[in-house]
């Protein structure tokens, strides 16, 4: 009965890892998926995560019962506090409903399904370009997806004028997806002053902001600073949605831990929103898994573990920044044609190199370097040892 099926293409990001795994070359390098690696090129489990896991395993009062549809209460409360700030008026007034979801993607999808069912505007605006999964998440939930200008290839920076024009002509009430920090794939974020202008425009037009916060702590190294854009929108008393992921900032990729918060106007609305979110989640996956969210809650509620987490997070962010400098220096010392200053200007896990898909294909074929075809490289996958190899490959690709 499935004979008619054509083979589907691999995922543009996760498929890079599939191709990488098949390559027998000892010098191969995977700079595709945004996943942190140590200087030795190994995946990292944070010490504080190991410590939390030990506590959980040794606690004989714990069991494996189903947790509520909306997830662990502690985890939800602490997640809202992490992104909105401990003194957030929205939290104090009980206007926020938070549900534990399957990492960032799951949080976006639950939010999108909820909006498709209960929100009057069915159009969502996403940045051009954006993370490859964004349009699919929203389209499959039944929303109509449009783009707004964001990145200017000429300056390798923000097309702020284009952004204001496109959001300015969006229909009233439209949903706007915003990357809270460390824009994926470009590494280009608005300045605080630009955020303020975006906020004013969004509020004056009655658009609905939906933040994707997948890199809190990874852009500036500070959890609070990276949450500023979200807090700016919550401070004005208006509504918004926020999808949070702990994949990157706690290194919990495969544990699939995330949260969706919906900031409402009143506590009563927030509790009705939560009741409807349950109806979205129950037929989809019933209730979320217990382990990853327990790790997060254990760390967030303990002062000293929280502090240790911030230190380890900062170390990851700083290693990435040092990779940016090293790659920039390596290209400079090779005299590679072009202005590569965007490598050190862009922030977060990725550099949007400006290399085209042909150059990427060349680097994969000749140098066994794997990255997405849009020229994005995951700086987190790079180390001092592999920078020269990447610089040689980029040099060869742009000079051939």
* Neighbour count for residue 283 (Cβ, 10 Å): 8
Contacts of 46 (CB under 8 A, 6+ apart): 250, 251, 309, 312
Spatial separation of the C-alpha atoms in residues 113 and 310, rounded to whole Å: 33
Residue span 8-27 as binding mask against ligand LMR, x where in contact by CB under 6 A, dash where not: -----x--------------
* HEC string for 201-242: HHHHCCCEEEEEECCCCCCCCCHHHHHHHHHHHHHCCCCEEE
Q: Closer CB to ligand LMR, residue 199 or residue 256?
A: 256
What is the total count of residues that contact ligand LMR (CB under 6 A)? 6
Question: Cα separations (Å) of 241 from 55, 177, 193, 221?
Answer: 33, 9, 22, 23
Closest approach, Cβ 28 to ligand LMR, in A, equals 18
Which of 88, 159, 184, 359 contacts ligand LMR by CB under 6 A? 184
248 tagged catalytic: yes
> Residues near 308 by Cβ (< 8 Å), separated by ≥ 6?
47, 48, 51
User: Cα angle at 310 between 308 and 316, to 5 degrees?
Assistant: 105
| Interacting residue with ligand LMR among 20, 30, 31, 33 (CB under 6 A) | 33
Buried-state track 149-166, b at ≥16 Cβ within 10 A, e below 16: bbbbeeebebbbeebbeb
106: exposed, middle or buried (Cβ count in 10 Å: 0-12, 13-18, 19+): buried
What DSSP element (H or E) covers 125?
Answer: strand 123-128
3-state secondary structure (DSSP) of residue 180: coil
Asked if 381 is part of the footprint of ligand LMR (rule: CB under 6 A), the reply reads: no
Q: Is 392 annotated in the active site?
A: no
Given 166, 189, 248, 309, which residue is catalytic? 248
Burial category of 119 from C-beta neighbours within 10 Å (exposed 0-12, middle 13-18, buried 19 and up): middle
Cβ proximity to ligand LMR, 194 vs 373, nearer residue: 373
**Among residues 102 and 202, whose Cβ is nearest to ligand LMR?**
102
Q: Which residue is nearest to ligand LMR (CB)?
A: 34
In the set 131, 151, 367, 370, which binds ligand LMR (CB under 6 A)? 131
Member of 20, 29, 31, 34 binding ligand LMR (CB under 6 A): 34
3-state secondary structure of 118: helix
Please spell the DSSP secondary structure of 284-296, one letter per residue.
Answer: HHSS--SHHHHHH
Helices (H), the chain: 14-22, 47-58, 73-84, 89-92, 103-118, 134-140, 160-168, 192-204, 223-235, 267-285, 291-301, 303-334, 342-345, 357-367, 387-399
| Count of CA atoms in the C-beta half-sphere (13 A) of 50 | 5
Q: How far is the CB of 13 from ligand LMR (least distance, A)?
A: 4
Shortest distance, position 130 Cβ to ligand LMR, whole Å = 10
131 carries an active-site annotation? yes
Q: Are 43 and 35 in contact (CB under 8 A)?
A: yes
Q: Considering 166, 189, 212, 392, which one is annotated as catalytic?
A: 212
**Closest approach of ligand LMR to the CB of residue 155, in Å:** 23
Output 131 or 246, the one with its CB closest to ligand LMR. Answer: 131
Residues that bind ligand LMR (CB under 6 A): 13, 33-34, 131, 133, 184
Q: Return the active site residues.
A: 131, 212, 248
């Amino acid at each position: 009965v499935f004979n008619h099926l054509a083979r589907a293409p691999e995922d543009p990001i996760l498929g890079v890892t599939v191709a990488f795994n098949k390559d027998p070359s000892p010098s191969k390098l995977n700079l595709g998926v945004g996943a942190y690696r140590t200087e030795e090129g190994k995946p990292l489990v944070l010490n504080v995560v190991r410590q939390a896991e030990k506590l959980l395993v040794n606690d004989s009062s714990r069991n494996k019962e189903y947790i509520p549809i909306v997830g662990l209460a502690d985890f939800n409360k602490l997640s809202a506090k992490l992104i909105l700030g401990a003194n957030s008026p929205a939290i104090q007034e009980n206007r926020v409903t938070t549900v534990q979801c399957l990492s960032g993607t799951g949080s976006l999808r639950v939010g999108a399904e909820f909006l498709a069912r209960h929100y009057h505007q069915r159009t969502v605006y996403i940045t051009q370009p954006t993370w490859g999964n964004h349009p699919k998440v929203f389209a499959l939930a039944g929303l109509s997806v449009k783009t707004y200008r964001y990145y200017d290839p000429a300056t390798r920076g923000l097309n702020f004028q284009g952004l204001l024009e496109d959001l300015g002509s969006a229909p009233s009430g439209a949903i706007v997806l915003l990357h809270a920090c460390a824009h994926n794939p470009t590494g280009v974020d608005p300045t605080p002053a630009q955020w303020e202008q975006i906020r004013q425009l969004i509020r004056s037009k009655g658009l609905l902001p939906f933040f994707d916060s997948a890199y809190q702590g990874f852009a500036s190294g500070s959890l609070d600073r990276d949450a500023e854009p979200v807090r700016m929108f919550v401070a004005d008393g208006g509504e918004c949605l926020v999808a949070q992921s702990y994949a990157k900032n706690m290194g919990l990729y495969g544990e699939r831990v995330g949260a969706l918060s919906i900031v409402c106007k009143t506590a009563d609305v927030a509790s009705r929103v939560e009741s409807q979110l349950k109806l979205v989640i129950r037929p989809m996956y019933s209730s979320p898994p217990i382990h990853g969210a327990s790790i997060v809650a254990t760390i967030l509620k303990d002062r000293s573990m929280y502090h240790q987490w911030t230190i380890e997070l900062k170390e990851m962010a700083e290693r990435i920044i040092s990779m940016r400098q090293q790659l920039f220096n390596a290209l400079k010392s090779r005299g590679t044609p072009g202005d590569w200053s965007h490598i050190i200007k862009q922030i977060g896990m990725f550099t949007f190199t400006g290399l085209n898909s042909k150059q990427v294909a060349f680097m994969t074929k000749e140098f066994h370097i794997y990255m997405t075809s849009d020229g994005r490289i995951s700086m987190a996958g790079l180390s001092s040892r592999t920078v020269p190899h990447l610089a040689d490959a980029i040099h060869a690709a742009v000079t051939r």
